[in-house]
Amino acid sequence: MTTQLEQTIQSIKPLDENAMQAARARQNELTKPPGSLGRLEVLSIQIAGITARPRPTLRRPAIITLAADHGVARQGVSAFPIEVTAQMVLNFLRGGAGINVLARHVGAEVIVADVGVAVDLPADDDLIVHKIDYGTRDLSTEPAMTREQARQSIQVGMAIAQNAIARGCDIVGTGEMGIGNTTPSSAIAAVFTGRPVRELTGRGSGVDDAGLTRKITVIEAALARHQPNPADGLDVLSKVGGFEIGGLAGVMLAAAAARVPVVVDGFISGAAALIAASLAPAVRDYMIAAHRSVEIGHRAILDHLGLHPVLDLDLRLGEGTGAALAISICQAACKVLDEMATFAEAGVSNKTS
């Protein structure tokens, strides 16, 4: 039986070469020295390939911010208490968080979903509730979730993205909230990159030296105990992942299947991207890395995925904040391609050589 997940993976196609060639040719006709808009030109060509449109426009951005809790937070691996996950979801719904401000600035919708917060949140029309469970189990002592929950978390993220795209969203940013979620992210990064845990484990929201040492010890012990298989993304996600991480992997897969660019935020989103790419390597071409996080392991994740970040602003908040800013750069890139005059249209002389 082919599941929804396998169907989505199979429907991810390569980038459209014809649209990319047309975009590349047009960039060289626009009234500027060829290549002089650098990354904007590269992004516009990638987005042409993603959307299969030679002059794509991005008018309806959405940030999908998934929230969930982590059993491992009980091990003292975070600077903030576990109740902050739920409190921040309420902050998102009232519009007071960083992601709200930055999404408003760039004209993006914020879609907030509870995919595994440890408590029940008050009903709210703006809150999607697809709780896989009341937080993961403590990965330092047992697998974070069952294999079935891992699959379910990915499918929940897929459904949320598919719904947004059906409503007209044409570029998606990923975001998350989950006290403790840099711990599973570092674990996932270690599994896929094969690098030592201590090179991939940072202070997250600001844990102190003792907390950082605990965090590294917890991750090393969990990897030794569970032996996650890097050839099996669902195995990694279930043993050392999180519900929002699985959900974001699903967002990425669904966006790619629908030919919608997906802007991958920071470290935790990067861990989700590793899961997604392990399930469907073709998804990487649909990803745009928003920024380079200061979280220590992020560079290794980006290198492993072959992604070059758009921004480098020393961010480490998550929520989708870097994705919001990068979405605006992607829109700018597409507007350059679509709206600039050509040499012929403007009556401007081209290069002499």
Binding site for its own copies (CB under 8 A): 30-40, 79-81, 83-84, 87-88, 90-91, 94, 96-98, 100-102, 104-106, 205-206, 208, 211, 294, 310-317, 321, 325, 328-329, 331-332, 335-336, 339-341, 345-353
Q: Least CB distance from residue 11 to its own copies, whole Å? A: 32
Name which of 194 and 206 has its Cβ closer to its own copies: 206
CB atoms within 10 A of CB 166: 9
Catalytic status, residue 319: yes
CA separation for the pair 210, 75 (Å, rounded): 12
Q: Provide φ and ψ at 239, rounded to 5°.
A: -80, -40
Given 199, 319, 339, 345, the catalytic residue: 319
Lookup result for tokens 């006290």: 179
Name which of 80 and 232 has its Cβ closer to its own copies: 80
Q: Least CB distance from residue 35 to its own copies, whole Å? A: 8
Q: Least CB distance from residue 220 to its own copies, whole Å? A: 23
Instruction: Give the Cα-Cα-Cα angle 317, 217, 77 (nearest 5 degrees).
Output: 35
Residue 289 Rama label (left phi>0; alpha psi -120 to 50; beta)? beta
Q: How far is CA 146 from the centre of its chain?
A: 23
Q: Least CB distance from residue 339 to its own copies, whole Å? A: 5
Name which of 142 and 338 has its Cβ closer to its own copies: 338
Strand boundaries in 287-343, DSSP class E = 287-289
Query: Positive or negative, the Cα torsion across 86, 160, 190, 316?
Result: negative
Tell me if 325 sits within 8 A of 297, measured CB to CB.
no
Tell me if 250 sits within 8 A of 149, measured CB to CB.
no
Name which of 160 and 325 has its Cβ closer to its own copies: 325
Q: Least CB distance from residue 95 to its own copies, whole Å? A: 8
Name which of 35 and 281 has its Cβ closer to its own copies: 35
Tell me if 245 sits within 8 A of 237, measured CB to CB.
yes
Q: Least CB distance from residue 333 to its own copies, whole Å? A: 9
Q: Which of 347, 344, 261 is nearest to 28 (CA)?
A: 344
Instruction: Give the Cα-Cα-Cα angle 161, 78, 214 (nearest 5 degrees).
Output: 125
> Per the structure block, which two tokens stand in for 267?
């470290």
Name which of 2 and 353 has its Cβ closer to its own copies: 353
CA separation for the pair 72, 69 (Å, rounded): 9
**Residues labelled catalytic:** 319
